[in-house]
Amino acid sequence: MKKKKKRPKYFLLILTLLIYITYQYLSLNPIINSQKDLVNFILSKEKTTNLFKDIKTLFKTKNILSSPYKKTTSKKEEIKTISITKEPIIYIYNTHQTEEYQPSSFVEYSITPTVQMNDYILEEQFEKEGLETLVEEQSIKEVLNNNNWNYARSYDASRIFLEEKKKMYPSLTYFIDVHRDSLTKEKTTITINNKDYAKILFIVGLENPNYHQNLAFTESINNKLNEKYPNLSKGIYKKEGPGVNGVYNQDFSPKTILVEMGGPENSIEEVLNTSLAFSECFLEVINNEI
């Protein structure tokens, strides 16, 4: 009779470790199909436990070979029903939805980060502070195509969304149109306290009859940024005359702003850092008003 081959001494430990690593890899690398999925993944990265730290802990666990596997069930948490009665006050949108950033390390997901990524980052930060926020997800391109408009009429398309949402939610007060600059990286990037950021530029159209109100609101945010993150903002670019829009839908509300974050060569991490800085300063400004 042939003797059965003995399994390696640490066979069970190695098998357990392989299963654990596979589980962790899959949980840390979910399927990403949209800008919102990408943002959720990025924001969760800092919250996830360190894989190698967990592996080290696993090796140190006593009696791992002799301990039978037991499925543990945590005590059910009490489900609380929260009635959301607060109406949204912030509306975030992108007149130029297809403006892209550097694909960076997320190219394997076939998702190219765009300015819409900023919307979801801002939304999360605002809602953490209890401020209901709407992010526009309807397609500007579809409106242009349906009306036989060219790209230059993108502001007419986003105006439709602005009016639609204001009619649906009269409580909306703050309107943020997020764009991206077109300059090279050395002109759109800055390092502050050893952290890289995508620079910010504000645009104010002087052909809006009441532009001074929009300018004053934009200045308050720009000043706060300069105070907390010196030179992160490149300032406020006032535009008017032939060849430019000159209004940028800022006549819609005195609290409508247009902000450009970074350029096409900025990485996701740089843009994320900037979005978090912007949301912090924006919140400090409007907290004095609400």
Q: Has residue 173 been placed in a domain? A: yes
C-alpha distances in Å from residue 256, one per residue of 21, 144, 250, 252: 48, 22, 5, 7
Q: Has residue 1 been placed in a domain? A: no
For residue 160, pLDDT over 80 is answered with yes
If asked whether residues 53 and 118 sit together in one domain, one would say: no
User: pLDDT value at position 195?
Assistant: 95
Higher-pLDDT residue of 50 and 137 is: 137
- Split into its structural domains, the chain has a count of 2
Please give the residue range of the domain that contains residue 30: 11-60
Higher-pLDDT residue of 72 and 138 is: 138
Cα end-to-end span (Å), the chain: 85
Higher-pLDDT residue of 47 and 166 is: 166
If asked whether residues 120 and 217 sit together in one domain, one would say: yes
For residue 235, pLDDT over 70 is answered with yes
Q: Has residue 67 been placed in a domain? A: no
Q: Report residue 111 CA to chain centroid gap.
A: 14
If asked whether residues 20 and 138 sit together in one domain, one would say: no
Tens-place pLDDT, residues 32-43: 666 777 677 666
If asked whether residues 51 and 96 sit together in one domain, one would say: no
User: pLDDT value at position 12?
Assistant: 64
Q: Has residue 255 been placed in a domain? A: yes
User: pLDDT value at position 70?
Assistant: 34
Tens-place pLDDT, residues 88-122: 999 999 999 999 998 865 555 567 889 999 999 99
User: pLDDT value at position 103?
Assistant: 81
For residue 75, pLDDT over 50 is answered with no
If asked whether residues 145 and 221 sit together in one domain, one would say: yes
User: pLDDT value at position 117?
Assistant: 92
User: pLDDT value at position 78?
Assistant: 38
If asked whether residues 48 and 105 sit together in one domain, one would say: no
Q: Where does the pLDDT of residue 10 fall: very low under 50, low under 70, confident under 90, or very high at 90 and above?
A: low
User: pLDDT value at position 182?
Assistant: 94
For residue 275, pLDDT over 60 is answered with yes
What's the mean pLDDT in 144-163? 97
* Spatial distance between the Cα atoms of 115 and 113, rounded to a whole number of angstroms: 7
If asked whether residues 48 and 98 sit together in one domain, one would say: no
Q: What is the mean pLDDT of the chain?
A: 81
Q: What is the value of pTM for the model shown?
A: 0.75
Q: Has residue 69 been placed in a domain? A: no
If asked whether residues 277 and 154 sit together in one domain, one would say: yes
Q: Where does the pLDDT of residue 49 fall: very low under 50, low under 70, confident under 90, or very high at 90 and above?
A: very low
What's the mean pLDDT in 219-240? 97
Q: Where does the pLDDT of residue 288 fall: very low under 50, low under 70, confident under 90, or very high at 90 and above?
A: confident
For residue 271, pLDDT over 50 is answered with yes
For residue 69, pLDDT over 90 is answered with no
Sign of CA dihedral 31, 36, 38, 44: negative
If asked whether residues 131 and 191 sit together in one domain, one would say: yes
What's the mean pLDDT in 139-145? 97
Q: Has residue 80 been placed in a domain? A: no
For residue 22, pLDDT over 70 is answered with no
C-alpha distances in Å from residue 277, one per residue of 170, 208, 232: 28, 28, 9
User: pLDDT value at position 270?
Assistant: 94
If asked whether residues 56 and 180 sit together in one domain, one would say: no
Range scoring the smallest mean pLDDT among 97-106, 186-195, 235-244 = 97-106
If asked whether residues 263 and 123 sit together in one domain, one would say: yes
For residue 65, pLDDT over 50 is answered with no
If asked whether residues 184 and 55 sit together in one domain, one would say: no
Sign of CA dihedral 40, 133, 162, 167: positive
